[in-house]
Every structure is written in C-alpha cells, then in structure tokens.
Chain A
C-alpha cells in the first residue's frame, strides 16, 4: 500500500483484499446457514456467487479505468456490503422477511453505478463545471418526497421515500453526494473571499455578510429538512460535511464555530418546537424510564450489545426480532449482539481505515476541488457512521439513518458506491499524475 506505487501494483493489493472480503463474507454466510440447518440454503450460495461476480466486475473496471486508484476502498466496501448481506439475511431468518434477495440485486445495481461512474467521469474536475446543476439537484432531490404523486408517504414517521415505477427510492441519499459536489466547487471558487475576515463581531473576525450568506442558507436548509422531512440524521450529516469543508477551504475556525452555534440554536428550536425531538432527547438521557414504550428501540439495542458482550452470541444466536429496524437502521446492533464487542470493533475499524484513506486521498488530490470533494465525501461517510453507531449505543440521541454499505436499502447502497467511485477517481488522478500520466486538463498546484 505504498503511496509511491513503485513497489507494489495497487491492483494486485486490491485483488488480494477483494478475495479476502469475498471469502470472509462467504464464510459468514456459511456459518449463518449452519446455525439454522446442516444444509446450506441455496439463497446464501447465490448471494455469495453474486458478490464474487460483482467484485470481479468492479475490479476489472477499476483496473481498466482507474488503474492507479487507492487499493483499499473497494475491498472494504465489498466486505461491509457482504457483511451487510449476511446480516440482512440474518434478520430475514428472524422475522420471516425476504430482504436479502432484494439487497443482492441492489448490490449488483450499485456496483453497476460505480462502474458507470468510473467510465463516464474520467476527470473529476469535469464535475465542477456543473456546480449549479448539482446545487439545484440537491434541493430537488430533497423536495421530491414532498411531491404528492411521487411521495411514498410517511414511513416510520419520516417523509423520505418516493415511488418510481414501483421502486421505492430515497433521494436524500443521493442528495448528500450532489450537495458535496456543489459545495466543493463553490468553495474552491470562493475560497479567497471567504478566507478574508473583515467584520469584527465581538471577539471573532468574520468575512463580509454576503460571503457568509451560504452558511445561513445551509443552517436554514438543515432546519427545513428537520421540520418537513423529520430527518435529523441527514440534517446533522449535511451540516457536518459543510462545516468541515468550509474549514478545510478557508482555514478559519470561526466558520465551524459560528456553524456549531447556529446548529445549537437550530437544535434548541427543534427541541422546543417538535415533540418527537423532545422524545428523542428524553429517551437518550434516560432510556430506562420507559423501556417498553418510547425508549423501546434504544433499550433493545443496549440489551443486544450487553448480551453480546465481548465475543457475541454467535451468528444466528441473537434476537434481531426484538430490535426494531434490525435490517436497516439498527443492523449494527445485530452485529454487536452476534459478533460481540470484537466483531463490532472490527467493523468500526473498517470504516476508520476507509475514512483515513479518504482523508489521505484528500491531502494528495491533484487540485483543490479534488481535495474538498474528497474531504466532503469522507466526512459524509464518517458522520453517517458516527451518528448511527453513536445513536444505537446511546452516545448521542438516536436518529434513524443507515449504516453505510451494511444496512438494507438500495438507494443508500447506490449512493455509497457512488461515493467510493468518486474517491477512487480522485486517488487515481493524484497517483496517476505522480507517475507522470497525462491528464486531460492541466493540474493545479496543490495548496496547503
């Protein structure tokens, strides 16, 4: 995994790691099958083969169209995806649902989108040209679930889904990415203006109000999302990504400082205005007061982690049927119960490696757009993981959000592979240019 790429071909590393990911997944699938009967269920075999084929397709595509890209991202994505398939199947066995098959199909579709992205986005800079298209797309995607004939209605207390051609889709998942692309482009262009502080407000120096406007717009949007979509998780995530990108672009701590203050005000307003927000906070502070009522989900989650202990109950021996949303939001709980602290830690480590690789890609990106984009994408991944894992373990109030690559859900999986595709593209460009590979547009010097 040398950054110079001179000693080891990253694709050789990648293929080894991918084989490891597929073997681990197949092993977990077999163990799960054995927990149920001595024969292997055909569905598990089909899933394993499907995962192996999609991994092969993805690898060949990367080898052809992004040969110098980071070798760890794809294997980690596949391992998490594979574990996700195993644990979705686990909840299927517990609840009698049949989500694993659908998720397998979505895996193929999502990997297809990854390949298509690598094929079509040959230069990550080309995205910057469509800055306002992406900005507009973000807003449209967020508003889609509110449009009557598209909306799939209120599901689990939130209005996040649309129905297209009989398929349920969560446009907010993709909106995260389009917003990050928009912000990376916007910040790259307006960096000099935003970096200069001219106004003194108390002890802090701030740029002119018109340059600050986007900040307020973002805070306002976050509040709107909270109010109308009832999606606290996404609001927190978008806001966090925005603040991180703004700070990286300008180097001014005042932005995240003021941003945090604004978010605090927004959160307090939400707490005062919305009953469901108050409930979330109350059960976070004291889940044991109403274990069978409002705090049911968080209590069940804590029971599962506590029962799992260090080594877990073993695959197939937990009680996902007791945990609400076990296949989607709470899938990490099922992992924690059945694989224990060790398994849960291993999964978190996978995210951490992915995040550190993402940050490394940001630091070595060929230009500022690439840097900001990589930071934004990585923070989206990190924040999402933190919010849901922290929520399920009562570190922060629980908000419904998917665990990247692992939770059941097609749109989320698709968006996550899209995210990986963009990171692969950025890393390919930087290593490629380091090797002196020709680029379509002249590279800008990397500022620090």
Chain B
C-alpha cells in the first residue's frame, strides 16, 4: 500500500502547493489591486487618521481637513461646498470618495495608496506628516459668476484659458453639498445621500463633464471648420432658401424663422453662420459628406476620452451616416452629442489658432513645507487626430472672425461686451420637451466659454438664454 500512500501524499502536496501559490498571488501580486478596491474599508479608516491636504483655488481652501474627536482623527469640510461639489467630490466613510478627492487621493494623502493600506507610512517615520496641497486653476469669482448667471437653471458653464487649457470655471446645476456626505456619522451621510440619489434632477451628475447634450447649432462651428478646411471661404455663396430639400427623405430642414435667412438669392458662409442658417449648413453637411464632418469633429476631440483630471463623457459623432442623418448632424441634431467641456474646447481652439490644448484643473501640488512637487504640464491635446491642431491657423482666423461677427451682428449679440472682441455661436437644440440652449465662444484670447441650459422653458434659445450667461461669465473672467 506504500506506493498508493506516496501517490496520495503527492496529490496532497500538489493541492497545498496550489494553496501556497494562490496565497502568494493574492498577498503579493494582486495585493495593491485588491486592497485598493473601494469596498475595502481599511484604506479609508487609515486615511482618516492622516491629515489630508487641502484643495485650494486662488489661495482659498475649498476643501480641508480639520481635527475631530471620535473614531476618526480628521473631518473633511468644504467651504461653500455646493459651488465646487462637482469638482472636489466628497470624501466619505460610507460612500468612499469621488471627484478630485478620488482622482488625486495619493497627492492629498501624500502617500501612495499601498503605503496607506499597509501602515508603512508609520513604519517609515512619517506618522504625523500631513498630505499635500492641491492647487486648482479654478478662479472662485468666475465659478461664482457662473452660478449666479445660471440662477438655478439646470445646466453647466465651463470657462477655459484658451492658450493653456487651464479650467477657470466648471460649474453645473443642480449641485449638492459634500459636507454631510463626508460626515463621520453614517446616519448623517445616509440622510443626505438617499434623497440625492433618488432626486429626479440627478444633482450628483456633473453636467459640465458627464452629461451629453445635442449641441444644436453650436455644432455649426465644427461644420464651418470642415468647410473652411475643405477650401471654401467665408465669402463662398450658397442658395438662400427657406427649406433645404434633403435628398433621400421627405422630411426637409428649414430655418428656425421659416424664412430664407439672407433675404436675397444667395447668402455667403459668414452671414449664414452669423444667422445660423440651417438650410445652408445642412446642405454643407451633405456636400462635405459624413466622413469629413466626423473627422473634423474628431480633430476637436469628439469620439475620444478627454485627458482631464476628472472623467469626461465621450462626445459623439456617429460614423457611416446616411445622407439625411448627415444633413441633421451638420446642424448638431440627430445623434450628435457633446459635453459642455467638449464645446468649450471647440470655442477655445478657434481663438487659439486652431490648437486644442489639453484641459487641466490642477495647476500644481505642494508638500506641507510649501515646496512645489508637481506642476501642471501645459500641452496640446496631442492624442487627437491632427495632433492637437483642429484647424489650420488660416482657417482658425477666418472662423474666429465669423464667430466675432455672429456676436456683433448675428444671433449672439446678447454675449457682446463693449470694447472686447467677443466671438461665439448660439445653439438651440430641439429634442422634444424644452429646447437645450447653448452658447460657445470666447473673449479675445483671454477666456473661452461654453454654456448649456436644459430647462429654461419652451421659449429657451441660445441667443436669449445662454448668450447672456456667457457674457456674465466672460466679464467675470476679464475682471479677474
């Protein structure tokens, strides 16, 4: 029987070998991945024993940790929480963390997550060392102006520095207060969390980056860009019609007024843009073709993940469209969808010589002694087709002039500021229900902005609703 016993022993040894191997895989090779799972409460409990660094906007701490009694040594508090909630996120024992609190956790704790997990920080003698300070590009005054201008309406405002990509403001309505979500008492957290989660207005969604809207006529900037890049000029003429007879379908495309937009037989590209002629741009879309339209949009950042500190939903231009869908896409309807962030980038690149800069929110990270340990890398969004150049400098200048004309004497006059070269494009997207009102534009090369409002009633329009908001935000940016 000894031979059999030896074999049985071998089987047992193999099984135990599997136990050893598996233990090694979990405790060594997969350890970081498993231990950093949000369901692992250890991480957050140990993190709460550390003084987390503040999040600072223009020398004002919008999130900071203050000493606290009880199980957790520090409490996270947010100054004017709702104003910055979609940026900072929350830092919660129950809900884990979100927003920058999540994206920049390692900088804020000042330790890599595995060090926090294994208490190595204490072993290495760094017990009382607080986390790092994260400095934002956001200017609170512009952020405040965005909130005031939206005045409670559902929507978002994104303001960028077009030459660097620095985000000057990113505000979305409705918002929430991260303070109760970051409380130490789970009952307080739940009392705040449950209504937020069941709220039909979805206040937890950041409408600046995570919500996709039909861009409406603001997408004509993209169509116009494709046209200029194809060799057309702002002076190129088009038939001026009340209705464009879309090939292959019975449903034609008319202008919002129901009239021709020029008043003559022909209208040029620049005037059609300023007056937002659907007939001209639908025709343009069909003539350029769906591929050219999509490729131009992709050079602006559509169909790509924005390399930003926070997650941005992908703005979409579908491929393989038939002719009627191409006509509707050219005026920003049908299945074209965009985030406010993406449309702000479109406006910014036009005034920046056609160059799309990578948007960024964090200007730098400082250690507790005030030394700068990380600095934002200002760069083009090179991952895009075109390497970050959405337009040739010449086309960009032409388009920029067209956008300035649209504000000076077109649909966007409500955005005009005396003595400032404000350019822009309005949009009023029809999707059933209240129209979505848009404005994208810029003030010189100082600031670019995108405004989207989703619930301003049945008469909402880009020119009437969004352009005045843009003006207030641009003005605030110029003042600060």
Footprint of B on A, CB under 8 Å? 244, 247-249, 251, 288, 291-292, 299, 302-303, 305-310, 313-314, 317, 319, 322, 336, 340-341, 344-345, 348, 351-352, 355-356, 359, 362-363, 368, 371-372, 375, 379, 382, 386, 389-390, 393-395, 447-448
| CB neighbours of B22 from chain A (8 A) | 390, 393-395
| CB neighbours of B66 from chain A (8 A) | none
- A345: which of B15, B23, B35, B119 is its contact (CB, 8 Å)? B23
From residue B72, how far is it (CB to closest CB) to chain A in Å? 14
Q: Mark B1-40, 1 if CB is under 8 A from A, else 0.
A: 1111111110011011011101110111011111101011
| CB neighbours of B4 from chain A (8 A) | 247-248, 251
Q: Are B27 and A344 in contact (CB under 8 A)?
A: yes
Q: Are B1 and A249 in contact (CB under 8 A)?
A: yes
Q: Are A288 and B37 in contact (CB under 8 A)?
A: yes
Q: Does B340 contact A (CB under 8 A)?
A: no
A317 to B123, CA, bound (A): 13
Q: Are A291 and B37 in contact (CB under 8 A)?
A: yes
| CB neighbours of A302 from chain B (8 A) | 26, 34
Q: Does B230 contact A (CB under 8 A)?
A: no
- B23: which of A288, A305, A368, A371 is its contact (CB, 8 Å)? A305
Q: B1, B2, B7, B34: which has the most chain A beta carbons within 10 Å?
A: B1
Closest to B22 in A: A395
Q: Are A308 and B37 in contact (CB under 8 A)?
A: no
Footprint of A on B, CB under 8 Å? 1-9, 12-13, 15-16, 18-20, 22-24, 26-28, 30-35, 37, 39-42, 45, 117-119
From residue A37, how far is it (CB to closest CB) to chain B in Å? 18
Would you call the interface of chain B mostly helix, strand, loop, or mixed?
helix
Closest to A389 in B: B19
Q: Are B42 and A307 in contact (CB under 8 A)?
A: yes
Q: Are A336 and B9 in contact (CB under 8 A)?
A: no
Q: Are A341 and B27 in contact (CB under 8 A)?
A: yes
| CB neighbours of A292 from chain B (8 A) | 39
Q: Are B27 and A359 in contact (CB under 8 A)?
A: no
Given contacts A362-B5, A393-B23, 6 further A-B contacts (CB under 8 A): A248-B8, A303-B40, A306-B30, A341-B27, A363-B6, A386-B16
Q: Are A303 and B8 in contact (CB under 8 A)?
A: no
A345 to B4, CA, bound (A): 27
From residue A90, how far is it (CB to closest CB) to chain B in Å? 16
From residue A370, how far is it (CB to closest CB) to chain B in Å? 11
A355 to B19, CA, bound (A): 15
Given contacts A310-B27, A322-B42, contact A248 B1 (CB under 8 A): yes
Q: Are B5 and A363 in contact (CB under 8 A)?
A: yes
Closest to B25 in A: A393
- A375: which of B8, B31, B39 is its contact (CB, 8 Å)? B8
Q: Are B26 and A371 in contact (CB under 8 A)?
A: no
| CB neighbours of B7 from chain A (8 A) | 247
Closest to B118 in A: A309
Given contacts A341-B28, A348-B19, A389-B19, contact A359 B8 (CB under 8 A): yes
| CB neighbours of B8 from chain A (8 A) | 244, 247-248, 359, 375, 379
| CB neighbours of B6 from chain A (8 A) | 363
From residue A345, how far is it (CB to closest CB) to chain B in Å? 7
From residue A213, how far is it (CB to closest CB) to chain B in Å? 22
A162 to B154, CA, bound (A): 63
Q: Are A305 and B26 in contact (CB under 8 A)?
A: yes
| CB neighbours of B3 from chain A (8 A) | 251, 448
From residue A167, how far is it (CB to closest CB) to chain B in Å? 34
Q: 5 closest Cβ contacts across the A-B interface?
A: A306-B34, A291-B39, A341-B27, A306-B35, A303-B40
Can you list 8 A-B pairs, Cβ within 8 angstroms, ordered by A? A306-B35, A309-B35, A319-B42, A322-B41, A363-B2, A371-B1, A372-B1, A448-B2
Q: Are A251 and B1 in contact (CB under 8 A)?
A: yes
| CB neighbours of A363 from chain B (8 A) | 1-2, 5-6
A359 to B9, CA, bound (A): 7
Closest to B13 in A: A352
A9 to B122, CA, bound (A): 48
A348 to B12, CA, bound (A): 12
Given contacts A299-B39, A359-B9, A363-B2, contact A306 B27 (CB under 8 A): yes
Closest to B117 in A: A307
| CB neighbours of A348 from chain B (8 A) | 16, 19-20, 23
A342 to B39, CA, bound (A): 25
- B35: which of A303, A352, A389 is its contact (CB, 8 Å)? A303
Q: Are A447 and B23 in contact (CB under 8 A)?
A: no
| CB neighbours of B2 from chain A (8 A) | 363, 448
